[in-house]
Structure 1
């Protein structure tokens, strides 16, 4: 059985994802699709709209055959670390190929860009340092440095979010000398960060989430942009848990933590550096909402995404030492769900996997998975008291979801 891998968040699963998934299977001539999916906190430093278990069901009902969790250690990181973790998992479970969406749509340009920057690494790194000294953020310094190089014609635009992720996927495959074949599908219609609906059937996850929060508890405004299974599960989640997850739900807990910390304690938290702990503590004392807090923190040097990731690590009490004791690559495969086709693949090939497959938390006690457990516990506080216990216990009691 030939498996194509996809790296996803599905926050939530929409028509654009369905298009990508179908195109990935066709392009790879695959028998099944395996998704590595972020858990309850995401790469941009946000809580997922709905839990990883509901997003797993969305994935399985919409064409994915196996869903594995990308550990917190990689899911809440910059693009390079995020990519390394996800690619390692897909390789460990035996994927023949990886297919990702991109603004480029031309896989050759990814190979050429990786080769080009590797050849000019010293010069490129010098330009990044020079731009960083001017006070801009790292992503901006990266983009400026890339633009300043005299590059060949078939080189990627690295100021586009999916191109950047795709670049790191291909770079990780090449550096790790992994046999996975990278493939790409051009993004259709909507851009990653679009906040408004661009077409009649395709919209970005950002615009869908914005519409859901604006309409409070109604799904009608987004139904044409998502498959029926997504719409049904979003309604079910609201019925069970009362509302979706967003940063404002966690502001009281984040502020409580910050108001009980001193600068020395805050400096121990992962990604808190360069003296920003003083600015964070001052902003927490003087802000009544998460949005207000973030607006006071935002500078030219610190992107909104980087600051949100800091906030996630503060909220989950993830310290620099916690990240150091975990491995540089994933040490397990956490199974969240499978279809009948996926189960057949696991039964046939699991003895060949290069990492242990974990379906029960009680079977695995390594340090790295403790970060995932802690993140899930904290995530459960983003809903009301009456339903929190159900979500809190789910991390231990929920077996992998099975869809026939």
Structure 2
């Protein structure tokens, strides 16, 4: 069997994702599609719109054969760490190829860029530090340092979000010495951060979420941009749990957590550095919503995404000590769902997996998994009180979904 891997969040699954799966299978000739999917909190430091279980069902109905959870320790991280986790997971799961979307669409340019940066690594690192000291955020400093090296036309633009992630996937595969071929497809129509619908069929997940949050009682506005199964699953989740998830759901919890904290306690939280704790504590009492708080908190040095990740770690009480103990690769494969083809593949290959295959949460007590479960508890707190326990129970009792 040929196996292609994809790194996803499906927040929610839309036609652009369906196109990605279709092209991944077409380009690689794969029989099996495996997804490394972020859990309940995502790379940009946000709670997922709906739970990992609902997004797993979206994936399986949309053409994915196996869904494994990318642990929180990698999912809520900057691009290089995120990529290390995702690439290791897909490698351990037996993928031959990883297919990712990019603004570039030319895989050769990603390898040229890697060689270029390795050749100029010392100059690149020096330029990054220069821009960081000048007050730029780390991602912006990297982009400026890259431009300072005067890349040729055959290299990728590392200021674009999908190119950045794609580059990190390529880097991770090379440096982990994973026997993985990398392919990329060009993103079509909607861009990653588009806030509004810009075409008749393809929309960014950001614009779909915005439409849902603007008018949650009227989700029909998104029907043109998502498959029917996604639309049905979103409506079902809203009916079953009473709410979609967004940061505003957790604002009271975050305030409570911070109002009983002192700077010394916050210094122990992952990604708190350079006195950030003092700025956070000085502003937490002044605002009535998460959005207002974030507008006041963000600076030239700290991007919205970086701050959201930091606040997610505060909310989940994820400490520097825990993350320092984290390995550079995933420690297990937690199966969230499978099709019949996926189950056949598992039965053939699972004895060869180099890390444990987790199908029953209660059977394992691994550090990365403990963080995942704590995050699942916190995620459930963003729901109406009468549905929280149902969501918590899923973390321990839900069997991997099976789609025939």
- Tell me the distance in 2 between the aligned counterparts of 1:283 and 1:69: 35
Look up the SS of the partner of 2:284 in the other structure.
helix
Report the RMSD for the aligned CA atoms in angstroms.
Answer: 0.7
Whether the 8 Å contact between 1:217 and 1:243 is mirrored in structure 2 is no
Give the corresponding residue for 1:357: 357
- Aligned counterparts, 1:314-329, within 5 A: 314-329=314-329
- Tell me the distance in 2 between the aligned counterparts of 1:328 and 1:186: 29
- Tell me the distance in 2 between the aligned counterparts of 1:150 and 1:9: 33
Look up the SS of the partner of 1:108 in the other structure.
helix
Give the corresponding residue for 1:142: 142
Look up the SS of the partner of 1:206 in the other structure.
helix
Give the corresponding residue for 1:99: 99
- Aligned counterparts, 1:95-244, within 5 A: 95-244=95-244
- Tell me the distance in 2 between the aligned counterparts of 1:118 and 1:217: 51
Offset at 1:286?
1.2
- Indicate whether 1:313 and 2:313 are aligned: yes
Offset at 1:345?
0.2
Give the corresponding residue for 2:381: 381
**Deviating more after overlay: 172-181 vs 41-50:** 172-181
- Tell me the distance in 2 between the aligned counterparts of 1:263 and 1:286: 17
**TM-score normalised by length of structure 2:** 0.99
Offset at 1:329?
1.2
5+ residue gaps, structure 1, are: none
- Tell me the distance in 1 between the aligned counterparts of 2:326 and 2:179: 25
- Tell me the distance in 1 between the aligned counterparts of 2:190 and 2:2: 30
Offset at 1:354?
1.4
Whether the 8 Å contact between 1:99 and 1:184 is mirrored in structure 2 is yes
Offset at 1:152?
2.5
- Tell me the distance in 2 between the aligned counterparts of 1:105 and 1:198: 20
Offset at 1:326?
2.4
- Aligned counterparts, 1:239-318, within 5 A: 239-318=239-318
How many residues align? The count is: 404
Could you list the structure 1 runs, at least 4 aligned residues long, displaced by more than 3 angstroms after superposition: none
**TM-score normalised by length of structure 1:** 0.99
- Indicate whether 1:367 and 2:367 are aligned: yes
Whether the 8 Å contact between 1:217 and 1:238 is mirrored in structure 2 is no
Offset at 1:328?
2.0
- Tell me the distance in 2 between the aligned counterparts of 1:169 and 1:135: 28
- Tell me the distance in 1 between the aligned counterparts of 2:156 and 2:112: 8
Look up the SS of the partner of 1:142 in the other structure.
helix
